[in-house]
Amino acid sequence: MDKEKLKKIINEKDVRYVKLQFTDLFGTIKSVEIPASQLDKAFDGKIMFDGSSVQGFVRVKETDMYLQPDLDSFLILPLESNGYGNVARIICDVHLTDGSMFSGDPRVNLKKVLAEARKLGLFDLKIGLEPEFYLLKENEEGEPILKFSDQGSYFDMAPLDRSESCRHDIVLELEKLGFEVEASHHEVGPGQNEINFLFSSAVKACDNVQTFKYIVKQVARKHKLHATFMPKILETIPGNGMHVNCSLTDFNGNNLFYDSNNNKNLSNLCLSWMSGILKHARAISALTNPIVNSYKRLISGYEAPNYICWSEANRSAMIRIPAFTSSEIRTEIRNVDCAANPYLAITAILAAGLDGIRNNYELLEPIYDNIQKLSMDERNKKGIISLPENLKDAIDELKQSKIMKEALGEHIFEKYIYAKELEWEEYRKLIHNWELERYL
């Protein structure tokens, strides 16, 4: 996409308003909105915003920042368009006043680590994300309540699946935006849903999941429902995950994880990739499972993994190799949840995988048993350790990781840890209902 082609589309489609979007350190979409008459200024990267007002960006004395639009991310937003003309969005990278890219922009930082992958001779990282969400009812004031849109379960249909019409509308809206939706279905929990869309290159996959979450919430609101991606909303039902499917390709698009001459048809590159991710799993969990609530999901009794291991089929493993053909082989990383900033989560996974490729760490044997039913002695004999049990432990692991500090850069690394330590301290001081009921 170039400027002139985009301007022609904007005129033909009667776009009157454009949202220049970017993502903050913690995964929240931010937007500077301009009338279409200001597009030339935007194309030249001259739309400014106050960076000190965005959590985790800069201090007051370093306030001025600029948005550089990624023209290929242009989309018309039918849900926001009206009789006065269409509304569109363009995702932007954040730049400093001297024109350089801002190192605290998670999207910019992901591009930096992808450049490192290309130096190793790897052309592209393909990503497929599987975000899950619950649909909750609202009260008369439009606030969400803990009552589900239905009481259906895995693959149920109407009338048990009363979320079906909302999910259909979400799929239709996504297709209007150019998403290639592969499948949608009811998940295990009541009111829980999953919609899978086609994998893509890493940055675009992260852009897509941000757009996906936005559309899901918008459509749910039209159905008088509240969509939540919160990792664990009740202790008795499954949590919301966001499985991350990864594969590396060469310059011709060939899948580098497949080798018909190797054990289990997995290439040495794939085995080394997994070795790095498993080695750094405890440190990267602070980014893949970034909030206090994330660790309520990573417990025994549900399919969310809480032990660091891999398997070809075992869904209790942190990394699973789904059934595949040679072109489809991928590593499915199952601990990630939807609270993660996708750009930071993919950065962490990619950096860990690249470290494994560089150093070829020893990889544990695949686990075929249900890990959650093994005793501690049995796990120890197999060399299986657990993911962190809470956000504090995860942050402590991240603080010790030289690989993650290098991948995230000093700005993101320090700002992120500082904010998460504050989040944990705020949580730690609270008196919870469980304590009152048990001890009062």
Q: CATH number for the domain including 290?
A: 3.30.590.10
The pLDDT, as a whole number, for residue 38 is 92
The pLDDT, as a whole number, for residue 160 is 56
Q: CATH number for the domain including 66?
A: 3.10.20.70
Is residue 107 among the annotated active site residues? no
Query: pLDDT at residue 260 above 50?
Result: yes
Is residue 290 located within the same domain as residue 154? yes
Residue where a domain terminates, one of 45, 72, 102 = 102
| Residue 24 belongs to domain spanning | 3-102
Is residue 85 located within the same domain as residue 10? yes
Query: pLDDT at residue 216 above 80?
Result: yes
Residue where a domain terminates, one of 102, 129, 153 = 102
What confidence tens digit (pLDDT) does each residue in 352-398 have?
Answer: 999 999 999 999 888 887 787 788 888 888 888 999 999 999 999 99
Instruction: Choose, from 107, 226, 334, 379, the residue flagged as catalytic.
Output: 334
Is 360 a member of any domain? yes
Confidence of residue 302 (pLDDT cuts 50, 70, 90): confident
Query: pLDDT at residue 350 above 50?
Result: yes
Per-residue H/E/C for the chain: CCHHHHHHHHHHCCEEEEEEEEECCCCCEEEEEEEHHHHHHHHCCCEEEEHHHCCCCCCHHHCEEEEEECHHHCEECHHHCECCEEEEEEEEEEECCCCCECCCCHHHHHHHHHHHHHHCCCCEEEEEEEEEEEEEEECCCCCEEEEECCCCCCCCCCCCCCCHHHHHHHHHHHHHCCCCEEEEEECCCCCEEEEEECCEEHHHHHHHHHHHHHHHHHHHHHCCEEEECCCCCCCCCCCCEEEEEEEEECCCCCECCECCCCHHHECHHHHHHHHHHHHCHHHHHHHHCCCCCHHHHCCCCCCCCCEECEECCCCCCCEECCCCCCCCCCEEECCCECCCCHHHHHHHHHHHHHHHHHHCCCCCCCCCCCHHHCCHHHHHHHCCEECCCCHHHHHHHHHCCHHHHHHHHHHHHHHHHHHHHHHHHHHHHCCCHHHHHHHC
Q: Which segment of 20-34, 80-94, 221-235 scores lowest on mean pLDDT? A: 80-94
Is residue 149 located within the same domain as residue 86? no
Instruction: Choose, from 14, 44, 72, 315, the residue flagged as catalytic.
Output: 315
Is residue 187 located within the same domain as residue 131? yes
What is the overall mean pLDDT for the chain?
90
Is residue 332 among the annotated active site residues? yes
Is 120 a member of any domain? yes
Is residue 130 among the annotated active site residues? yes
Is residue 21 located within the same domain as residue 159? no
Query: pLDDT at residue 58 above 50?
Result: yes
The domain tally of the chain equals 2
Is residue 423 among the annotated active site residues? no
The pLDDT, as a whole number, for residue 90 is 96
- Better pLDDT: 313 or 217: 217
Is residue 365 located within the same domain as residue 423? yes
What confidence tens digit (pLDDT) does each residue in 156-197 have?
Answer: 665 555 678 899 999 999 999 999 998 888 888 999 999 998
- Better pLDDT: 313 or 40: 40
The pLDDT, as a whole number, for residue 60 is 47
Is residue 94 located within the same domain as residue 190? no
Is residue 243 among the annotated active site residues? yes
Is 108 a member of any domain? no
Is residue 86 located within the same domain as residue 185? no
Q: If you average pLDDT over residues 309-324, what whole number do you get? A: 85
Instruction: Choose, from 33, 44, 50, 365, the residue flagged as catalytic.
Output: 50
Instruction: Choose, from 70, 130, 156, 173, the residue flagged as catalytic.
Output: 130
Percentage of the residues of the chain whose pLDDT score is greater than 90:
68
Q: If you average pLDDT over residues 126-153, what whole number do you get? A: 91
Is residue 93 among the annotated active site residues? no
Q: Which segment of 213-222, 267-276, 307-316 scores lowest on mean pLDDT? A: 307-316
The pLDDT, as a whole number, for residue 435 is 95
Is 244 a member of any domain? yes
Is residue 90 located within the same domain as residue 119? no
Instruction: Choose, from 107, 243, 280, 297, the residue flagged as catalytic.
Output: 243
Is residue 132 among the annotated active site residues? yes
Instruction: Choose, from 93, 124, 132, 156, the residue flagged as catalytic.
Output: 132
Is residue 194 among the annotated active site residues? yes
Is 371 a member of any domain? yes
Is residue 142 located within the same domain as residue 284? yes
Is residue 20 located within the same domain as residue 141? no
Is 107 a member of any domain? no
Is 344 a member of any domain? yes
The pLDDT, as a whole number, for residue 159 is 56
Residue where a domain terminates, one of 43, 68, 102 = 102
Query: pLDDT at residue 215 above 90?
Result: yes
Instruction: Choose, from 70, 105, 194, 259, the residue flagged as catalytic.
Output: 194
The pLDDT, as a whole number, for residue 157 is 61
Is residue 348 located within the same domain as residue 407? yes
Is residue 297 among the annotated active site residues? no
The pLDDT, as a whole number, for residue 376 is 84
The pLDDT, as a whole number, for residue 51 is 78
Query: pLDDT at residue 155 above 80?
Result: no
Query: pLDDT at residue 2 above 90?
Result: no
